């Protein structure tokens, strides 16, 4: 068991759960009368995994996004932009158990300037409009407030102030401008923006001292979204044959995974990945707080978090350093560290069980036969059965892979 509190993995321990909370973590006893026992002696138990950057598209994905994420051991997802009322509905549905999937931290629409490019964005032309949006987000008790690329510095500061009064973080794509406005984090290292001085990386993907200084004191954080990690599919083609891909992902995502698995990464792609992860390593060495996200469904849900973790480990992060980016660190960033992110008494019983030891073979992390969310056990096999449907015929005049490529064309943050 690895509890994400700073120590090494521990052997032969019992995790006692009462309802949805962990009550004790104690040395193993052969018998505990009056308690239901789940034998996890063959597994490594971790805190439930946390995807720090997602966008729920329930009208397109239905329940597949949530089921897939949970089947890959993810017990919390942070929505960083969605139609507000739909995000709140999903948060309540998942919290109540009406829907099955990770808990959802809800975000207001992307707070933008005079125009916006996405349905999950909200354009604002007047200060009164910004005020009404923030009042509505506050009334609905959002978990994050995000500004988008045409929002002015003044609007960014208003959003940060509203978020902090609510006790939640605020962020955007912009590093130095976001920090100057009082925001807490950036939602990517480099992504869409409209300020020429806001770019975090050089055209070749490198970072320099000025950017490192923005993150080095730990007061301003970064959510990593390594889209370049998708190329790792081509290094492990068996990932495409996983029943979670075949039965839980929508057919366009499954087609994209199969296509990626058939294509070994080029030297250029390997270099791009190494350059991106080197930037994250440099930031980590200087004290930056780093969480890992995916921006799903711009990339396939669930599997993409594991590809990001593999990328971190492949390029120099230790297993514990990589895992902190999906457990304790995001819990602190989103202000839920008293409930999530570690395996300790008093925390919610969100646990991911790995078949094998990821501290000696990191590739085993992907094998998550069981997951506890709110103390409720979900097996991967049951989740796959819940999402299984008969094969859907492809579009008459194209293919599912064409549909996947079409969806990616409109994405904001990569390619």
For 245-277, what is each residue's pLDDT tens digit? 999 999 999 999 999 999 999 999 999 999 999
CA 163 vs CA 123, 136, 279, 291: distances in Å: 19, 12, 29, 19
Residue 296 included in any domain: yes
DSSP 3-state of 222? strand
Break the chain down into helix, strand, coil percent, rounded to 5: 40, 15, 45
Give the Cβ contact number of residue 348 at 10 Å.
24
Residue 258 included in any domain: yes
Give 99's DSSP letter: S
pTM of the model: 0.94
- What CATH number has the domain bearing residue 87? 3.20.20.140
CA 317 vs CA 53, 232, 241, 300, 329: distances in Å: 20, 16, 27, 23, 15
Question: Is it the case that residue 348 has pLDDT exceeding 90?
Answer: yes
360: number of CA atoms within 13 Å, CB side? 6
Residue 243 included in any domain: yes
Residue 212 included in any domain: yes
Residue 325 included in any domain: yes
Residue 122 included in any domain: yes
The pLDDT value given to residue 118: 82
The pLDDT value given to residue 402: 81
Instruction: Compute the mean pLDDT over every residue in the chain, rounded to the nearest whole number.
Output: 93
Instruction: Tell me the mean pLDDT in the region 400-415.
Output: 69
Question: Is it the case that residue 216 has pLDDT exceeding 70?
Answer: yes
R_g over Cα of the chain: 21
Question: Is it the case that residue 414 has pLDDT exceeding 60?
Answer: no
The secondary structure of 252-307 as a DSSP string is HHHHHHHHHHTSPPPHHHHHHHHHHHHHHHHHHHTT--EEE---BTSS-TTHHHHH
Q: What is d(CA 4, CA 81) in angstroms, rounded to the nearest whole number?
A: 28
- Could you tell me if 414 and 406 are in contact, meaning their C-beta atoms sit under 8 angstroms apart? no
Residues 6+ apart with CB under 8 A from 217: 287
Kindly report the backbone phi and psi dihedral angles of residue 366, in degrees, each rounded to the nearest multiple of 5, phi listed first. -70, -20
Q: What is d(CA 345, CA 353) in angstroms, rounded to the nearest whole number?
A: 18
Q: Identify which of 72, 80, 107, 149 has the alpha carbon closest to the alpha carbon of residue 308.
A: 72
For 91-146, what is each residue's pLDDT tens digit? 999 999 999 999 999 998 999 999 988 888 899 999 999 999 999 999 999 999 99
Residue 66 included in any domain: yes
Instruction: Tell me the mean pLDDT in the region 303-314.
Output: 98
Q: Indicate the helix (H) or strand (E) that contains 170.
A: strand 170-172
Range of the domain at 249: 45-337+387-409
Question: Is it the case that residue 84 has pLDDT exceeding 50?
Answer: yes
Question: Is it the case that residue 398 has pLDDT exceeding 50?
Answer: yes
Structural domains in the chain (count): 1
Q: Name the residue with higher pLDDT: 193 or 187.
A: 187
The pLDDT value given to residue 409: 67
């Amino acid at each position: 068991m690895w509890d994400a509190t700073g120590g090494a993995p521990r052997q032969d321990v019992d995790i006692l759960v009462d309802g949805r909370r962990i009550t004790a973590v104690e040395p193993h006893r052969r018998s505990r009368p009056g308690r239901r026992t789940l034998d996890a002696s063959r597994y490594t138990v971790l805190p439930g995994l946390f995807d720090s950057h997602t966008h729920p598209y329930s009208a397109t994905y239905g329940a597949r996004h949530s089921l897939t994420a949970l089947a890959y051991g993810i017990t919390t997802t942070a929505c960083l932009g969605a139609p507000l009322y739909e995000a709140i509905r999903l948060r309540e549905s998942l919290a109540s158990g009406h829907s099955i999937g990770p808990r959802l931290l809800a975000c207001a629409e992307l707070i933008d300037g005079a125009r916006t490019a996405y349905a999950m964005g909200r354009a604002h032309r007047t200060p009164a409009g910004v005020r009404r949006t923030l009042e509505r987000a506050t009334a609905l008790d959002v978990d994050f407030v995000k500004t988008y690329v045409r929002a002015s510095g003044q609007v960014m500061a208003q959003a940060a102030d509203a978020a902090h009064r609510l006790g939640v973080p605020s962020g955007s794509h912009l590093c130095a401008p976001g920090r100057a406005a009082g925001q807490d984090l950036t939602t990517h290292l480099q992504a869409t923006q409209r300020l020429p001085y806001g770019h975090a990386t050089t055209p070749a993907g490198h970072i320099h001292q000025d950017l490192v200084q923005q993150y080095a004191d730990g007061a301003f954080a970064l959510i990593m979204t390594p889209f370049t990690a998708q190329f790792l599919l081509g290094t492990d083609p068996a990932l495409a044959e996983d029943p979670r891909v075949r039965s839980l992902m929508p057919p366009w995502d499954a087609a994209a995974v199969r296509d990626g698995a058939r294509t070994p990464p080029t030297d250029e792609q390997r270099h791009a990945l190494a350059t991106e992860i080197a930037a994250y390593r440099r930031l980590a060495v200087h004290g930056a707080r780093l969480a890992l996200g995916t921006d799903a469904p711009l990339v396939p849900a669930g599997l993409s978090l594991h590809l990001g973790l593999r990328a971190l480990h492949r390029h120099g992060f230790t297993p514990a350093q990589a895992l902190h980016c999906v457990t304790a660190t995001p819990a602190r960033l989103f202000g839920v560290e008293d409930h999530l992110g570690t395996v300790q008494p008093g925390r919610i019983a969100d646990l991911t069980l790995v078949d094998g030891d990821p501290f000696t073979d990191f590739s085993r992390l992907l094998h998550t036969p069981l997951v506890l969310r709110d103390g409720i056990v979900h097996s991967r096999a049951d989740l796959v059965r819940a999402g299984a449907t008969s094969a859907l015929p492809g579009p008459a005049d194209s293919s599912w892979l064409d549909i996947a490529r079409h969806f990616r064309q409109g994405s904001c943050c990569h390619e």
